[in-house]
Structure 1
């Protein structure tokens, strides 16, 4: 718009309804727009007087037919107060664009009317993050074009979930704790919601009414509903009730946050409830986790200095004292403390829990925030906006958020859902997307978990083919054996070894099995402290052990009995499900592999045990070779081992010749390694180069006069340099020496292209080893 009408001096107004949105709009959007002509004229309007002077200037220039200075302004809707602009005449200019955020509420009442009167010909676009409620449609009619179409464009929650920008939300209602009802009475909520629904067009937003101050002219209907809202608020502030909720949060927080990998928010009914919740939560967390847990939670709210009740003011003083104290921060006031707390929550380990009432339940983005403990009555837009705090995706290499979780201590979600449906306050398509697909009971995830587990158990029962070998595992049978203390070691060890061999060669069925077990593990953990998941504890324990057994076997094929014995404890004691194993740190050494090979050679060829023992040997050999993946000798042996692996996959029985070939290959590797271990660094590089060429081209003698001299010279030169890069002239010198020797050695044995390729490979290997050696402490 601005670019198109630039020659006609366009004006753009960004209108928002909160200072935080104003800051976000500028810091995270406008200032990153790459258009110098745009950036030059942006202005944040800081006061009503400044806005008034801008509009007066615009009107005067228009009235005098003077050119209007083009501009882009960011302002709060609250600045358009009628009394301040009563004498201003409208600005008739058409090249004005007004972008209104949170339009479901921004255009209500006098503020919106003032804006429309002052800019009658402006092009207006309205944005909202929540769907249009029935009682708001007169307001939205202002923007309808053509008439009757309330949305120019609709990108709703399910679109966002499908595109990966947000996650589904699951909710759980907690009705009582320690035998005490903590929910607001269901009848009380229903009466309130039904009375509001019948009078919604008169009353408007129930959330706004809850925050509105009482005044004498308030209608009888509004007064009656306000009375019900106040009664609920008093119930929610009760100290005994808040203590029970704090104890429940402390009990479940570790599971809900997946061992504190994610963060949590507690939303309570009032500022007084914030202070009380902080006190009770500190008590409960310290009792469970020790004194350090006192720093796990922080309150973020507004304060009215010297006007707040003693309980709130006392907490403010204590909070500021803490932040100004041992931390050594020069915190000015509570507003600065709030900002520091928010930043720390997003970027640091502590705090792990934020306690809020109004602040941060809209417009606060923190992808690590997974769970909201909801103990505040929110009804329509604010409810939808609040619960959306937990639906931001978060993913790292080790961690992925599956969904956002709401634990509802008020008992509102289900009743709000029913009311909106019954009174058709949303159109049917929007209601279905919101309350049937994107926000659903936690039980729906439990059903998904059950389906995934049944699917994997069926796959394992039916069998997985690895070459000509087939693995069948009856998880229910393993479960019973584990309960009875039976032998699960023999069967599971054989199966995981075979499946690990399939994993190494990219067997599609094995890869799919592992993918599904990972999904089960993630979903089980994501369900947090929800008790319903415990009926799957044994199944998940066994499947995860199989998964970790396969992954371990790719690195260290001979798993100890203790690895499987942990299953007895998992099944009997319902101990915490372990994480997916980190296999990078697991390695097999040469002594272990020699034992595996000795056992293999002692087993009769053709026996069933020989099949699995040879698989163990091949996997162990691979594991050792992968410790130095760039070593050219290891690469050559690795290629020969892969051929043996393919042969194993296609044979039901293992022949004596195959066992001998595995043993001979290892013997050759062992001789190479033992000889190499006694050499200095330069000798090792020369030995690696000669051994590789001997193995690759079947040479009995290898003479590398130029290469040997150059390697010794460069190894000595870089020994004390501590360089991270190799000089270009040194690389050329090394490559020329290698190629000179290779052409002399291999001409007539292989073609010139192969000689050049091998020369470049050896240059890269030697160069890399010299640089790594120079980085090691002497």
Structure 2
């Protein structure tokens, strides 16, 4: 029997044999009780010395379960499993029955051989349905990796949706220890991290070899990914904890290989530098963080310094840096945004910080010729210091790098860049990235990232703006003043009108936003005022941001022409901004304005258009280092080439939802040759996948999809008959219309697209089909099902995102609360009022249940926080206090001990139900009658459910 006919069961057995061959012990575990017993046995074995020959009693093991899992979130469990750099293993402490303290080790994060690797399959967990998990990998008896399989030929994403269903129905108790999921149909295999809240299919990753070749086949995947040492490294070393969002991130293979290349270079060739060429948007920051962290563990160097450019340090970026790294010994953030060089020098003097994060500007201030810190830092002349340098294509080619090199004479440099400097794009100093960093250690190019769906491809439209003149760019053309032609008011007016007419279409009805890059500050202001003049109905929120100091040389000339300087012009813009958004900024506090603009660009939401920036006009700012999935479109009216072009384009291609299929580039200059040259240079000669399908290709796909749909259901009304005809026909409709929506999400952005070009599917009829598709989705997702079997539709990838605009849910509101601007009372109040408006208009039942709590937090706590407060931590503390208060109030009103209520809450979160036996015992002791006990049990269960729903942020 060939592989193409391999059933799911055969594939399952085949994988288990492969895992057995590479060192996994195959065991049989039938159900949840067997799993718990097995874990308990191994825990006793691993800790035999600490137990002094006395295995854990039932009561002691219950304490273990509560300490290890209890009411912890998946994020907290994952942190506990890994320990810390100081204690690199999972460890808990419980009290024995004899009141002695006992430490139990359940995972060794430093030495993979000190762990037990096993594999089992078909563990059955009863729930709404009988859930049978395909293949489970255990480490020390704990289910760490869950693998779900589909037979060959079936879409592997069905396995993803099966995992979602399992998580909702039966992932409890020890299964909350699962760290990774793997899905496969034998030919296509992906992995992704577990976490609290919803899992996103966009973050299922390919596994590759070190040369970025896919290892998709289950055999090739298993041999590499499930090698026991590799799997251990994924769990112990290559996980990132995002403290701000309380989520666990698993690194992609190219990030891991790059990190390992740096570690190898640092240990084997400490006299040589190296650079990592990973394309923009591929997660260089996480890679560089992890390399820094693992280097600091090696203790083979005197100091590790992570260097970034201050220009990249907006407020959100600083928070991201600090969220990935632990706080310093003094409990201060790992990175601050101040220009205080003294604090950096103090860090360098201390031995408490093996890893220091700072800006290249601040370090340059500390070591330059006239620095007052030279004597203090003299010992660093000869120390072996490793520098990790972010955005090496920009920050490392100037005098600051030279000053640092002169001071740190025994330093090793590792640079990260998405766009290296080659001979073709070299600057005036003639230095390339290779001459600065010796050698490339690993590369992951833009073609690789687009192929892997880690970033989006680009749809590029070149719009001619000067008719009758052969002007392709800013170069001088005989007989015409090109500057005058490009800056003509009529041309600017035409471009602004084009943006206003097409912006909704390009941004899925303003679900996303855009950057408009222009050639100068003067042009930025001209465009801004042109938008104000033409957009009389305030269709779009437009603003501009730029620095002015470098542009003030001609201020006197401008005054002679009665024109305002760039700074004065920006002050007028900010005044409009303050009026529109109820803020209080000016150019004296430019950093605060910058931070707020950045925040609004990142938090863009279609349901709150009054808070959004739709179009941000820039000269150079925000074209590098600014990452936002909410940005989908770049309008261009300036020359761009090589790294500047790729960097600017790449602002638009961050993965988000299905409603953002690619980054939109609309160029009002002819940049075709410049684009081709840049793509060729930074994709190592290949342009494959950089450009998305052309309009003509998509038009053909759309016509084919319409034809397929019409064969299944000729009219929207015909869909109604499918609901009682079994799942096969309804499945066919779902798949056919899903394809319509997928193609439509891509083709709709083109200027050429009009519904009347596709007479087989008028716009109104598509909306009718869309409604029927939503009906199908709701029918499948109904909580009550009459059939004991699970419909195949449960595991189909519904493109439901394409039916909805942005959802304002609990997580969205909590993220807004976490990013409240505390810098001034006015900004604090404006952010709080915006959140209140959203809460008052909540259409989510889950959000409504928490709205009063969140509003109370805004009223009672936020006004009294200092500027350095972590709003997220304060919110967690507030919710915990309010929860305790409500438990105490219920206890007083119903004469039930607080300890009993807390035990019932913990039991429900752990097992999915209250402990009826313990509750009956407690009520008996309280002297309640039989009828009272029945009534109180119902009341208490309702209280437990409502309390958990009300106070749990991540669902």
TM-score by length of 2: 0.44
Report the alpha carbon displacement of residue 277 of structure 1 after superposing the two structures with TM.
Answer: 0.6
Alignment partner, residue 458 of structure 2: 169
Contact 1:31 1:39 in 2 (8 A): no
The alpha-carbon deviation at position 170 of structure 1 amounts to: 0.9
Contact 1:16/1:100, CA 8 A, preserved across alignment: yes
Aligned length: 499
1:303-342 superposed matches below 5 A: 303-304=548-549, 308=555, 309=558, 310-311=563-564, 312-323=566-577, 329-333=583-587, 335=590, 336-342=592-598
Q: What's the offset of the Cα at 1:376?
A: 1.6
Conservation of the 8 A alpha-carbon contact between 2:461 and 2:665: yes
- CA–CA distance in 2 between the matches of 1:245 and 1:282? 14
Aligned counterpart in structure 1 of residue 545 of structure 2, from 300, 305, 310? 300
Counterpart pick for 2:527 among 277, 284, 294: 277
Distance 1:450 1:328, change over 3 A: closer
- Residues in 2 aligned to 1:408 and 1:337: alpha-carbon distance in whole angstroms: 28
Structure 1 residues 530, 267: CA separation in 2 closer, same or farther (over 3 Å shift)? farther
Match of 2:665 among 377, 386, 406: 406
SS in 2 for 1:185: coil
Go from structure 1 to structure 2 and tell me whether the alpha carbon gap of 1:546 and 1:44 turns closer, same or farther (over 3 Å shift): closer
CA contact (8 A) 1:167 1:391 kept: yes
Aligned position for 1:389: 651
Could you say which residue in structure 2 is the equivalent of 1:185? 471
1:272: how far off?
0.8
Aligned position for 2:705: 456
Query: Whose Rg is larger?
Result: 1
Contact 1:269 1:375 in 2 (8 A): yes
Alpha-carbon distance, 1:409 to partner:
0.2
- Check if 1:85 corresponds to 2:335: no
* 1:43–1:73 CA contact under 8 A, matched in 2: yes
Kept in 2, the 8 Å contact 1:46–1:75? The answer is: no
Measure how far apart 1:342 and its partner are: 3.0
Once residues 437 and 541 of structure 1 are traced to their aligned partners in structure 2, the CA distance between those partners, rounded to angstroms, is: 30
Distance 1:642 1:125 in 2: 52
* 1:394 to 1:69, Cα distance in 2 relative to 1, 3 A: closer
Contact 1:500–1:550 at 8 Å: present in 2 too?
no
Shift of 1:282: 2.0
CA distance in 2, matches of 1:390, 1:642: 40
| 2:320 aligned partner | 28
Corresponding position of 1:426: 681
Task: Give per-residue Cα distances to partners, 1:682-724, cap 9 Å, x unaligned.
Answer: xxxxxxxxxxxxxxxxxxxxxxxxxxxxxxxxxxx99xxxxx9
Change beyond 3 A, Cα 1:6–1:107: same
How many Å separate the matches in 2 of 1:340 and 1:86?
35
CA contact (8 A) 2:306 2:388 kept: yes
- Per-residue CA deviation, residues 488-515 of structure 1 (Å, 9 max, x unaligned), is xxxx367434444457557543332122
Whether the 8 Å contact between 1:52 and 1:85 is mirrored in structure 2 is: no
Provide the residue aligned with 1:99 in structure 2. Answer: 388
Q: Distance in 1 between matches of 2:708 and 2:327?
A: 57
Change (3 A) 1:352 1:418: closer
CA distance in 1, matches of 2:401, 2:358: 16
Alpha-carbon spacing, 1:639–1:5, altered in 2? closer, same or farther (3 Å)? closer
| Correspondences of 1:642-681 after superposition (within 5 Å) | none
**Residue of structure 2 aligned with 1:417, choices 668, 672, 675:** 675
Structure 2 unaligned blocks of 5 or more: 1-291, 792-892, 895-900, 921-933, 950-955
Q: Which secondary structure state, in structure 1, belongs to the residue aligned with residue 758 of structure 2?
A: helix
Tell me the residue number matched to 2:488: 238
Secondary structure at the residue paired with 1:186?
Answer: coil
Maintained 8 Å contact 1:13/1:72 = yes
Q: 1:650 corresponds to which residue?
A: none
* Structure 1 match to 2:690: 438
Alignment of 1:162-561 (within 5 A): 162-176=451-465, 185-186=471-472, 189=475, 235-286=485-536, 290=537, 292-293=538-539, 296-304=541-549, 308=555, 309=558, 310-311=563-564, 312-323=566-577, 329-333=583-587, 335=590, 336-347=592-603, 349=609, 350-395=612-657, 400-412=659-671, 414-419=672-677, 426=681, 429-432=683-686, 435-439=687-691, 444-459=693-708, 463-464=711-712, 473=714, 492=715, 495-502=718-725, 504=727, 507-525=730-748, 527-531=749-753, 535-536=757-758, 538-539=760-761, 541=763, 544=766, 547-548=769-770, 550-551=772-773
Deviation for aligned residue 1:771: 9.6
Q: CA deviation at 1:70?
A: 5.5
Q: CA distance change for structure 1 residues 496 and 426 in 2, over 3 Å: closer, same or farther? A: same
Structure 1 equivalent of residue 358 of structure 2? 74
Shift of 1:340: 2.4
- The CA deviation at 1:543 is 7.0
**Aligned equivalents of 2:717 and 2:434: distance in 1?**
70
Q: Residues 212-270 of structure 1: CA distance to partner in whole angstroms, max 9, x if unpaired?
A: xxxxxxxxxxxxxxx99x97655433323212211111122222222222212211111
Higher helix share: 1
Partner of 2:261: none
Shift in alpha-carbon separation, 1:411–1:419, aligned structure 2, 3 A: same
Q: Name the SS of the counterpart of 1:437 in structure 2.
A: coil
Q: What is the CA–CA distance in structure 2 between the aligned matches of 1:769 and 1:12, rounded to whole Å?
A: 52
Q: Helix, strand or coil: the match of 1:456? A: helix
Shift of 1:318: 2.6
Aligned equivalent of 1:142: 435
Alpha carbons 1:268, 1:355 under 8 Å: kept: yes
Instruction: Determine if contact 1:41/1:71 at 8 Å carries over to the other structure.
Output: no
More strand by share: 2
The match for 1:705 is none
